[in-house]
Structure 1
Amino acid sequence: MSLLSWETETVDFNRRQFFIRLGAGTLAAGAVAMLPAAAFAEDKVDVAELLKPGPLGDMSLGDEKAPHTVVEYASLTCTHCKHFHDTTWKPFKEKYIDTGKVRFILRDFPLDPLATAGFMLAHAAPNNNFFPMVDLLFDQQDKWAFVDDPVSALQQLSKQVGFTQDTFELALKNQALLDAVNAVKDRGATTFGVNATPTFFVDGVKKPGALSLEDFDALLS
Structure 2
Amino acid sequence: MRPTRRAYLAAIGGTAAVGATAGCLGGSGSGSESADLPDGCDVGTLESVSSLPRPTLGPEDAPVTVEVFEDFACPHCQTFTTDVYPEIKSNYVDAGDVRYRFFDFPIPVDETWSWAAASAARAVQDRADDETFFAFTEGVYENQGDLSENGYQIVHDLADELGVDGCAVAAAADQEPYREVVEADRQTGSDRDIPGTPAVYVNGELLDDYQWDAVSSAIDSQL
Q: TM-score, normalised by structure 2?
A: 0.67
208 and 109 in structure 1: CA distance in 2 versus 1, 3 angstrom threshold: farther
Number of residue-to-residue matches in the alignment: 168
- Please tell me the residue identity of whatever aligns with 2:214: D
| Cα shift readout 1:190-215 (whole Å, capped 9, x = no counterpart) | x2112310001111111244322x21
Question: Partner of 1:92 in structure 2?
Answer: 88
- Maintained 8 Å contact 1:81/1:210: no
> Equivalents in 2 of 1:157, 1:63: separation in Å?
27
Residues 48-197 of structure 1 mapped to structure 2, 5 A cutoff:
55-110=51-106, 111=108, 112=110, 113-125=112-124, 126-128=127-129, 129-144=132-147, 147-161=148-162, 162-166=164-168, 168-170=170-172, 172-175=174-177, 177-189=178-190, 191-197=191-197
- Please tell me the residue identity of whatever aligns with 2:94: D
Could you tell me which runs of 5 or more consecutive residues in structure 1 were left unpaired when the two chains were aligned: 1-13, 19-53
Q: Which moved more, 1:83-92 or 1:156-165?
A: 156-165
- Maintained 8 Å contact 2:116/2:172: no
| Cα shift readout 1:33-54 (whole Å, capped 9, x = no counterpart) | xxxxxxxxxxxxxxxxxxxxx9
How much has 1:90 moved relative to structure 2?
Answer: 1.4
Question: Partner of 1:219 in structure 2?
Answer: 218
205 and 55 in structure 1: CA distance in 2 versus 1, 3 angstrom threshold: same
- Please tell me the residue identity of whatever aligns with 1:205: E
Partner SS state of residue 196, structure 1:
coil
RMSD, matched Cα = 2.3
Question: Partner of 2:33 in structure 1?
Answer: 16
- Please tell me the residue identity of whatever aligns with 1:139: E
171 and 71 in structure 1: CA distance in 2 versus 1, 3 angstrom threshold: same
Percent identical residues: 23
Could you tell me which runs of 5 or more consecutive residues in structure 2 were left unpaired when the two chains were aligned: 1-30, 36-49
- Please tell me the residue identity of whatever aligns with 1:198: P
Residues 2-13 of structure 1 mapped to structure 2, 5 A cutoff:
none
- Please tell me the residue identity of whatever aligns with 1:196: G
